[in-house]
A = this chain, B = another copy of it.
Amino acid sequence: MSRFLCEKYKELIPYTPGEQPRGGRIIKLNTNESPFPPSEKAIKKAAEAAKRLNLYPDPECRELRESMAKLYNVSSENVLMTNGSDEILNFAFMAFCSDKTGAAFPDITYGFYKVFADINNICYTEIPLDDKLCIRREDYFGINKTVFIANPNAPTGIALKIGDIEDIIKNNPENVVVIDEAYIDFGGESAVSLIDKYENLLVTMTFSKSRSMAGARLGAGIASKGLIEDLDLIKYSTNPYNINSMTMAAGIGALSDGQYTKANAETIKNNREYTKNELIKAGFSVIPSDANFVFAKHNDISGEKLYQELKKRGILVRHFAKERIKDYNRITIGTREQMEEFIKTTKTVLEENI
C-alpha cells in the first residue's frame, strides 16, 4: 500500500478468488468451472473475431443482446451485457444502494457481495440463514434495503422456489431486488419470467458455468428498461467498451448452441447425484444442491484438514474459513472420471486420517 491511497480504502479487504494453479496434474474442483470445453460454435466465432481486433467492439453489444433477448423472451432493452457477472453486480451496488438505502444479503452467500458493498461505501445487513442453511423469505419482507440473493445460493447450492422469490420482490416495492442466477441452469427456476411484472427486479447471469466460458468473462443482467438504463449509465461512465469482440462473438456462438449447454448441464446433474450418493455412503452430510457443486462435511475430519489432504494428493476443492461453514468443503462437479477419482481419494484420506 502506498501513502497515496485514499483514506477510505485503507481498511478495504478485497475478494479472494479460488486458487488458479498453473501446470501440473491437478483435478480442479474449487471454482465451479465447467469441465467441458466451450461450444465449437463459440470457439469458431471467437477465433474469427480475433482477426479483426484492430477495431473497437460494438459498445452496445447489439447482436449479442438480441440473441439473449430472443432466448429469454424479453426485449433487447431489457438486457445488459457485462465483463463477467461480477461487473453487473458491482454496477448494481453502485446504482441502487446509497448511504440511505443500504444492502441486505444472507450471512452465508457469495463472498463478493460484502466487498462490493465495502468498496462502494454502502452499509449492509447480513441476514442469517436458518439452521438448515436455507434463506427464510420472510426475513427479507419490507426490509427497506437493496436485496441481493444468489439463487441457487452459494456455497450451499440450495435454491429458493420461484414463489418465494416473487414474495420477496413483491414485499420490497420501493427497493431493487437482485437475483443472482449464476447457477440456475443446474436447478431451480429462473426469475426472468417476472421481469415484466416487477420493475424492481434485476436478474443477473453468467456464461462462466453452464456455458463453459469462465475464461471469456461474460455476464448479463435482465430487468425492466429503467433499471437497465441506470446500469448502462454506470457502464458508460466507467468502461463503455467493457466487452471485447472475441467474448462477444463467443457469446453469440454459445447462445446458438443451446443443445450443447443443456446436455452438459444434464451430465453435471447426473455426476452431482453420483457424487452426493458416494459422499453419503462415505459418511458425509451433503446439502441437497441445485448447482454445479455440492457442500459437504464429515463429522470425523475437519473441513480444513480434508481440504489440505486432498490438495496434497492433487485435488483442489474450496474451503471457507468462516465460522458457520468451516466444517464444510465446496466441491465443484466435474466429469464422471474426475468425480470417481475425487471419491477414491477422499476415501483414502478418511482411512488415513480417522
Contact = CB atoms under 8 A, between A and B. Distances in A.
B50 A42 contact: yes
Give the oligomeric copy count: 2
Given A233-B9, A237-B15, A247-B244, A215 B49 contact: yes
A199 B1 CA distance: 12
Given A2-B230, A97-B6, A215 B15 contact: no
A226 B43 contact: no
Nearest to A63: B22
A115 B224 CA distance: 25
A214 interface: yes
A110 interface: no
A227 interface: yes
A215 B57 contact: yes
Contact of A234 (B4, B16, B28, B119): B119
A244 B241 contact: no
Nearest to A232: B14
B246 A46 contact: yes
A143 to B, nearest CB: 15
A36 interface: yes
Interface in A195-226: 199-200, 208, 212-217, 224, 226
Q: Would you list the 5 A-B pairs with minimal beta carbon distance, nearest first?
A: A2-B226, A14-B236, A215-B245, A47-B47, A54-B212
Given A17-B59, A215-B244, A215-B245, 12 more contacts: A1-B229, A2-B229, A4-B176, A4-B200, A42-B50, A46-B46, A46-B53, A53-B213, A53-B216, A53-B250, A54-B212, A83-B239
Interface of A: 1-9, 12, 14-18, 20, 22, 28, 31, 33-38, 42-43, 46-47, 49-60, 62, 83-84, 86-87, 90, 94-98, 101, 115-116, 118-119, 175-176, 199-200, 208, 212-217, 224, 226-227, 229-230, 233-247, 250
14 contacts: A1-B226, A12-B233, A16-B236, A17-B56, A22-B62, A33-B54, A38-B50, A47-B50, A55-B214, A83-B244, A86-B239, A119-B237, A217-B243, A246-B247
